[in-house]
Amino acid sequence: MTAPEAVLPGGRFAVVRASPLAVVGGAMVAAALVLGAAKGWQSLAQATINGLVSGSYFALGAAGLTLVYGVLKLVNFAHGEFLTFGAYMALLGHSTLSLPLPVAIVFGVALTAVLGVGLELAMWRPMRRRGAGVLQLLLMALGLAFVLRNSIQIVAGTDVRQLGANVTASVTFGGLHIGRTELWVLGVALVVLLALALLLRETRLGKQIRALSDNPELAETTGIDTEKIVLVTWILAGALAGLAGIVYGASVGVVTPNLGFEIVLSLFAAVIVGGIGNAYGALAGGILIGLVQEWATLVAPASIKVAVGFGAMILVLILRPQGLLGRVRSADR
């Protein structure tokens, strides 16, 4: 527990609780102040902007991952490949089918959603029916990741592609740069994430999803159509992942078969930091990991920023395994 414990004489125990979000928020602000003072406010601001951009696609990717986990208790190691798939499908639409870019994006997103559903029907549902164990499913997801990634590689080749977006045009204000594409990325991500949050909170569907992930046994007895919700979850997860892949591809400018795999561990970090199974947590976690990674570039060589992100994840796992917004489940110990 992160909560400090007071031991009173006679072996009595007492516990004081503090809000995790407040603690982390405070820590982040403190870190920001230190970094800003040490490295200059300009650099801090630039790094923060970069962090928000990467945080936004982390959040998109993490949201899908955590939704699937929440509803199915499946750690989808193949999620990164969904991102790659989405990016490639958009590429297909734009380059090969000559669709205008926005349409190609929708195309990519939709096809990834289809992939998610297809896999559910072909693989996950039959395995669940057979009572497959957690380890089995985990390993299947791993195998699936291999198959997907390398199939894409076989079909599309390892050449680096571009998503056709203008990566160099940027907007400057107050001495800070932000690429035009990245501005778009931020905007799109913001809109989509808000829409997701609203969906989860207000719509009946969203409430059912949350009910199913919080307490599956209870949810089933209240007459929720589990199978339908599962399908919807996969649609959402697939779509979000596809969008995340497209957005990431646009943001870094290149699309390769390893696109998803490159950031999948950061996605896991975001999910875990935010609290696995909790979609809001994924949003917070994504932004956090994005910020942590970019801030790290102020003090360490850029090539290890991803490792710093992992470090943050490991730290969270040690101090508070259920993540920032997760609830303690007895299985978490």
Partner 1 sequence: MLAATYGIFALGLQLNIGTTGITNFGQAGFMAIGAYAMAILVVREGWSWWWAMPVAIVCAMAAAVLVGLPSLRLRADYFAITTLAFAEIVRYAANNWRSLTNGNQGLLGYNADWFKLSFRFGNWLNDHGIHVTSFLFPLMLVSWALLLVLWLLVAALVRTPWGRVLRAIREDEDAARALGKNTLAYKLQSLALSAALAAIAGFVLAMNLTLLVPDQFDPVFTIFGVVIVILGGLGSYVGVLVASFLLMTLLEGTRYIGLPLASDKIAALRFIIVGLVLILLMAFRPQGLFGKRKEMLLGE
Partner 2 sequence: MSDPPILEVEDVAKRFGGVRAVDGASFSVARGSITALIGPNGAGKSSLFNVVTGFERPDGGAVRYDGRSIYRLPPYAIARRGMVRTFQLTKTLSVMTVLDNMLLAAPRHPGERLGGSLVFAAAARRREREAREHALSLLATFALAEMANEYAGTLSGGQRKLLELARALMLEPRLVLLDEPLAGVNPTLGRRLLEHIEQLRADDGTTFLFVEHDMEVVMNHSDRVIVMAAGRVIADGEPQAVRRDEAVIEAYLGAHA
Q: Which of residues 103-142 bind partner 1 (CB under 8 A)?
A: 123, 126-127, 131-140, 142
* Strand ranges (E), the chain: 5-8, 12-15, 170-173, 176-179
Of residues 79 and 210, the one with the C-beta less far from partner 2: 210
- Residues in contact with partner 1, shown as a per-residue x/- string from 245 to 284 under the rule CB under 8 A: --------------------x--xx--x------------
Comparing CA positions, the residue from 47, 50, 84, 58 lying closest to residue 189 is 58
* Chain length of the chain: 333
Q: Is 13 in the site for partner 2 (CB under 8 A)?
A: yes
Question: Angle at the Cα of 278 (from 274 to 280), degrees rounded to 5?
Answer: 70
DSSP structure class, residue 3: S
Contact between 333 and partner 1 per CB under 8 A? yes
Return the DSSP state at 303.
G
Q: How many residues sit in the footprint of partner 2 (CB under 8 A)? A: 9
For residues 242 and 109, is the Cβ–Cβ distance under 8 A?
yes
Query: Which residue from 27, 121, 154, 198 is in contact with partner 1, where contact means CB under 8 A?
Result: 154
Q: What is the Cα–Cα distance from 159 to 152, expressed in whole angstroms?
A: 11
The H or E element that residue 122 is part of is: none
Q: Which residues contact 308 (CB under 8 A, 6 or more apart)?
A: 292, 293, 296, 300
Report what 12 binds from partner 1, partner 2, none; CB cut-off 5-8 Å by kind: partner 2
Site string for partner 2, 303-332 (x = CB under 8 A): ------------------------xx----
Binding characters for partner 1, 282-311, by CB under 8 A (x = yes): -------------------x-xx-xx--xx
* Residue 5 vs 159, nearer CB to partner 2: 5
Can you say how many angstroms the Cα of residue 17 is from the centroid of all Cα atoms in its chain? 28
R_g (Cα) of the chain, nearest Å: 20
Binds 265: which of partner 2, partner 1, none (CB < 5-8 Å by kind): partner 1
| Per-position x/- string for 52-81, each x denoting binding to partner 1 as judged by CB under 8 A, each - no binding | -----------------------x------
What span, in angstroms and rounded, lies between the C-alpha atoms of 300 and 211? 42
Give every CB contact of residue 305 below 8 A, 6+ residues apart in sequence.
Answer: 293, 294, 296, 297
In the numeric block, which tokens belong to residue 62?
A: 């993490």
The item of partner 1, partner 2, none sharing an interface with residue 15, based on CB under 5 to 8 Å by kind, is partner 2
User: Is residue 14 part of the contact set for partner 2 (CB under 8 A)?
Assistant: yes
Nearer to partner 2, 9 or 100 (CB): 9
Between 148 and 287, name the residue whose CB sits nearer to partner 1. Answer: 148
Residues whose CB is less than 8 angstroms from the CB of residue 190 and which lie 6 or more positions away in sequence, other chains included: 56
Interaction of residue 204 with partner 2, rule CB under 8 A:
no
Counting contacts by CB under 8 A, is residue 133 touching partner 2?
no
Whole-angstrom Cα distance, residue 142 to residue 81?
10
Residues in touch with partner 2 (CB under 8 A): 7, 10-15, 327-328
Residues in touch with partner 1 (CB under 8 A): 75, 123, 126-127, 131-140, 142-151, 153-154, 157-158, 265, 268-269, 272, 301, 303-304, 306-307, 310-311, 313-314, 317-318, 321, 331-333
